[in-house]
Amino acid sequence: MTRNVNPLPDTKVSAMRQVGKPLRRVDALGKTTGTTVYAADFEMPNMLHAKVFRSSEPSARIIGLDVSKARALDGVVCVLTAEDVPGGQLGTDMPGQTGREERKGSKAPVLASDRVRFLGEPIALVAAETLETAARALELIKIDYELMPGVYDPLEALEPGAPVVYEPDNIVATWKIRKGDVAAGFDEADEIVENTFTMPFIDHAYLEPEAGVAWMDDQNVINIRVCTQVVEHFRRIAEAVGVPHNRVHIRGTMLGGGFGGKEDITVEIFLALLTKATRRPVKLVYAREESILAHSKRHPFVITHRTGVKQDGRITAAEIQMTANAGAYPYLSPYVSLYATVTSCGPYKVDNLKVDTKAVATNNPFTSAFRGFGGAQAAVAYEQQMDEVAKALGMDPLEFRKVNYLQSGDENAIGQRIESAVWLEEEATEALAALGNRTPDSGAIKVGRGFATTIQSYGRIMWFHDTARSWVGMEQDGTVVVRCGAPDVGAGQVNSLCQIAAEVLGVKLEDVTVYNSDSALTPLAGTTTATRQLYMSGNATLKAARMVRDVLVARAARHFDVTPDGIDLAERVAFVVDEPHDSLPLEDLAQMCAADGMKLQHLALFTAPFTDQLDPDNLRGDLFPDFTFSAHAIEVAVDTETGEITVLKSVGCHDVGRAINPTAVEGQIQGGSAQGIGWALMEEVQVDAGMMKTPSFAEYLIPTSKDLPTTEAIILESGTGVGPFGAKGIGEPSLTPAAPAVANAVADAIGVRVADLPITPERVLEALDRGG
Amino acid sequence: MQPEIIAVTINGREHKADVESNLTLLQLLRRLGYTDVKSGCDKGDCGACAVLLNGKAMNSCLVLARQADGAEIVTNAGLGSMENPHPLQEAFADAGAAQCGFCTPGMIISAKALLDRNPSPTEDEIREAIAGNLCRCTGYAQIVEAIQMAAERMYPTGGAS
């Protein structure tokens, strides 16, 4: 259900005819009929097949590597090792950004040469005439390891004398908040509550494993057709391969899911190296097992909260320590841990706040972006802590939160003023009410309810100086073309741009064609990450479409001899608002503009607010363009004899500012919730001393249709976001409150808290033993 | 291992193919160009490769191509097209049931097999029928809704004639 609340801000568009409607997405039928061509579905003549030789040890020195037998195998065309890689280094920092210096130490080897730091680290590449030959060649590669002591726990990695994964001390990033007088705040407190919460490695588990095809063309351009969230990786790819930036062309495909896991470079450099070496097209597709080894994971965190409160519920001080397991290479750990730090105390006013966060390298799979990006991990901790504090005070969890909720105009943990609507209380109230009548307990089955309210940014860190471009043109038959580099991960990025352009230009969705996700042929629009595409590319498209509209309206106004504000566009005609019979088909109008030499194609640049980098030792200032505030409520049944948990009811309530397409927004809320519930109850990439214990979907379990109820999506629209038509972002915020809501519901059901995710039946039974 | 020539009918078209003894039906289908059949795990965990094999929904990665000799196979693309979509394909599009779309072909095959034997399934029956098809995007709600929508459109009387 969708509820409009505030009148929309000025949109310069008289009425909403496309935006806000639950229209069928333009990409829907291609997908449902199996017509959409994904990265692995594409082949070329004379194409080679690639395989990657990976480390079978998590921490070792490579003392011998012999690929001669593999090279000699009939049908093998190319075997590459670190020796053959000119640059040799993969930039893991700042995907998609221009002009900013990379963090020191953020490079990783493209292929390991002397040392491996995690299981599955790439060591050699093979290209062969057939996939079977490439696989056989891997078996012929001989490698000798000298095992090195590894370190797998981030707290152990911080101890003096621990094996060094990342020079000099394993610390990949440190962030601090020092606000107010924490000692005085605790002195003032009537109660002090301290708890530690943990959460595991999680895999993105997109259904489409990483895949791509690369070829070199007659301009010596390396073309890579790949499923990626970031076409701007062409720069890092070019640097790693040793060619100029303008000799790498990324042709992004529709993604079969990303969720952050296709934000870092995956197959691209391997493909580029092999196609450059062989001058033949090369295809590389990961099997599920390789995907799980090769791509990033969600960061495990250990988070300790110490919260001081007055009897009336007011928080007087909070001290928070966060340790993130960064795995073997930095990737985006510094930023994930920054997000966690900034949202560590949640959407609450805490005047006296001390936060210390470290991201620490270990010999584990590397960790990087995953929907929620540290903000979600922070929420798992702060929302459980809020319930525990309320319990210590004997207060209702919502009444306690209401005392402390941020309000619009307040400053967040680092002093950034929140300009948009903050409807936490309304959202929590709506979500809890939608749970309806409480399901009664039945014998050993105990029913519990919980909720969580969260803050999650949308748009990138502002010191990245984020930009997006979009090009909108009208053809001479009145149809519309949008060219925008935004990748579509499946959430409807392309459709949103269509709906915006159609709205502004008075056409139907089917009148718009979008070309997207091409690093050379579509204007660069930045990454499909950080819940930024609607905000960034949506605004760029809105801006470009308005430029085209202004030309159409000016010409029509001249034709009808009225002022431009007397003209509107709808149903593929321009018409006089006061005399709707005075109308002109857009086809005719576009041709009139062309005949007059008026420009109907416009490129627009949208820039987010730019700021300087904040002081990591005392974060203070503006960091994000805006925030989405959310609530999720859950009812669970816990079998106290078996520990089994069933989610009975699930409601997500989010102020999305403006729902461009309510069906798509509902899909985000339901899908994000499913990932949150999976994280809370069942998902864990188990890594034992660096060895993968959950190598496939037989061991790494994600929710099936029988593990979840339908999440009711309640969409509120304050119209106060910084996206097009007042939209906020929903991609990541949809997930953030779900997991802590589940944890709080379980604690409510059994009367004790399981502070470690996932909340498995074993942990429930342990907690019951402890509590009973 | 000597290749063996098998005959299969795929989406109404007859094929003869040389197949190695270890080739799976999934690999054969994709080799023949039926790339709407997706490979998500290659071991029967995800359902993205589901096809109708003699009318029954099967994970094609778990069937050897040679076992399919003489069989009639229908993939999602065989049910309908962009111009003439199957009611399930239409309903999935209308309900927002395809986000990334990678699980969709297999999901629709499982739904088709369900509606063939049960024209007015309950929500529980739908959830049971697609329990072998993983989806990471939707949380399944809009998929369940799409299958209900398609059933109502295809069998307005609930399957009673």
Each residue's pLDDT tens digit, A620-632: 999 999 999 999 9
Q: What is the pLDDT of residue A628?
A: 98
Domain A301-461+613-771: which topology? Aldehyde Oxidoreductase; domain 4 (3.30.365)
Q: What is the pLDDT of residue A8?
A: 46
CA nearest neighbour of A672 among A642, A691, A652, A655? A652
Sorting pLDDT into bands at 50, 70 and 90, what band is A392? very high
The verdict on a CB contact (< 8 Å) between B104 and A32 is yes
Q: Is the pLDDT of residue A14 over 70?
A: no
- Residues 685-704, chain A: which have Cβ within 8 Å of B? 696-698, 702-704
How many helices (H) and strands (E) in chain A?
18, 31
CA nearest neighbour of A675 among A743, A754, A732? A732
How far is the alpha carbon of B139 from chain A, nearest alpha carbon, in Å? 4
pLDDT tens per residue across span A18-68: 999 999 999 999 999 999 999 999 999 999 999 999 999 999 999 999 999
CA nearest neighbour of B63 among B40, B29, B31? B29
| Residue in B with minimal Cα distance to A674 | B139
| Residue in B with minimal Cα distance to A23 | B94
Domain A44-149+205-294: which topology? Aldehyde Oxidoreductase; domain 3 (3.90.1170)
Q: Is the pLDDT of residue A464 over 60?
A: yes
How far is the alpha carbon of A47 from chain B, nearest alpha carbon, in Å? 14
Interface test with A, best of B30, B45, B136, B147 (most A CBs within 10 A): B136
Average pLDDT, chain A: 96
Q: What is the pLDDT of residue A3?
A: 53
Q: In terms of domains, do B85 and B70 share one?
A: no
Query: Which of B23, B50, B78 is where one domain is finished?
Result: B78
Pairing, β A248-252 against β A222-226: parallel
Residue count of chain A, please give it.
772
Q: Quote the CA–CA distance of A286 and A685 in Å, as a whole number.
A: 18
Q: Quote the CA–CA distance of A256 and A121 in Å, as a whole number.
A: 24
Average pLDDT, chain B: 96
- Outline where A88-197 has alpha helix (H): 131-140, 154-157, 182-188
The verdict on a CB contact (< 8 Å) between A708 and B139 is yes
| Residue in A with minimal Cα distance to B107 | A32
- Chain B residues whose CB is inside 8 A of the A703 CB are 139
**What is the amino acid identity at position B8?**
V
Of A256, A706, A710, the CB nearest to B102: A256
Q: Quote the CA–CA distance of A675 and A673 in Å, as a whole number.
A: 5
Q: Is the pLDDT of residue A419 over 60?
A: yes
Cβ distance A637 to A648 under 8 Å?
yes
Cβ distance A342 to A411 under 8 Å?
no
**What is the amino acid identity at position A426?**
E
Orientation angle between helical segments A586-595 and A533-560, nearest 10 degrees: 80
Q: In terms of domains, do B121 and B55 share one?
A: no
Q: Quote the CA–CA distance of A714 and A655 in Å, as a whole number.
A: 9
Query: Percent helix, strand and coil across chain B, each rounded to 5?
Result: 40, 15, 45
Looking at 3.30.365.10, 3.40.50.10240, 1.10.600.10, 3.40.50.1100, the CATH number of the domain A6-35+467-607 comes to 3.30.365.10
**What is the amino acid identity at position A533?**
Q
Render the burial of A605-629: b for 16+ CB within 10 Å, e for the rest. ebebeebeebeeeebeebbbbbbbb
Interface test with B, best of A25, A488, A705, A734 (most B CBs within 10 A): A705
Q: Is the pLDDT of residue A158 over 90?
A: yes
How far is the alpha carbon of A672 from chain B, nearest alpha carbon, in Å? 7
Give the structural domain span for B107.
80-154
Q: pTM of this prediction?
A: 0.97
pLDDT tens per residue across span B34-74: 999 999 999 999 999 999 999 999 999 999 999 999 999 99
Q: Is the pLDDT of residue A5 over 70?
A: no
Residue indicated by tokens 């109308």? A583
Q: In terms of domains, do B29 and B57 share one?
A: yes
The verdict on a CB contact (< 8 Å) between A33 and B89 is yes
CA nearest neighbour of A352 among A182, A155, A174? A182
pLDDT tens per residue across span A252-292: 999 999 999 999 999 999 999 999 999 999 999 999 999 99
The verdict on a CB contact (< 8 Å) between A705 and B133 is yes
Which residues in A485-525 belong to E strands, given as ranges? 512-516
| Residue in A with minimal Cα distance to B135 | A207
Q: In terms of domains, do B89 and B116 share one?
A: yes
How far is the alpha carbon of B136 from chain A, nearest alpha carbon, in Å? 6
Q: Is the pLDDT of residue A320 over 50?
A: yes
Query: Which of B59, B78, B97 is where one domain is finished?
Result: B78
Q: In terms of domains, do B88 and B45 share one?
A: no
Q: What is the pLDDT of residue A98?
A: 56
Check if A6-35+467-607 and A301-461+613-771 are the same fold. Answer: yes
> Counting one residue from A and one from B, how many pairs have CB atoms under 8 Å apart?
187
Residue indicated by tokens 């741009």? A497
Cβ distance A325 to A201 under 8 Å?
yes
Query: What is the domain partition of chain A in residue ranges?
Result: 6-35+467-607, 44-149+205-294, 301-461+613-771
Cβ distance A723 to A665 under 8 Å?
no
As a whole number, mean pLDDT of residues A504-523 equals 98
Query: Which of B52, B78, B104 is where one domain is finished?
Result: B78
Tell me whether residue A16 is exposed, middle or buried, using C-beta atoms within 10 angstroms of its C-beta: 0 to 12, 13 to 18, 19 or more: middle
- Chain B residues whose CB is inside 8 A of the A673 CB are 139
Would you call B147 helix, strand, or coil by DSSP?
Answer: helix
Q: In terms of domains, do B11 and B25 share one?
A: yes
CB-based contact (8 Å) between A207 and chain B? yes
Say if B99 falls within a structural domain. yes
pLDDT tens per residue across span A428-446: 999 999 999 999 999 999 9
Q: Is the pLDDT of residue A4 over 90?
A: no
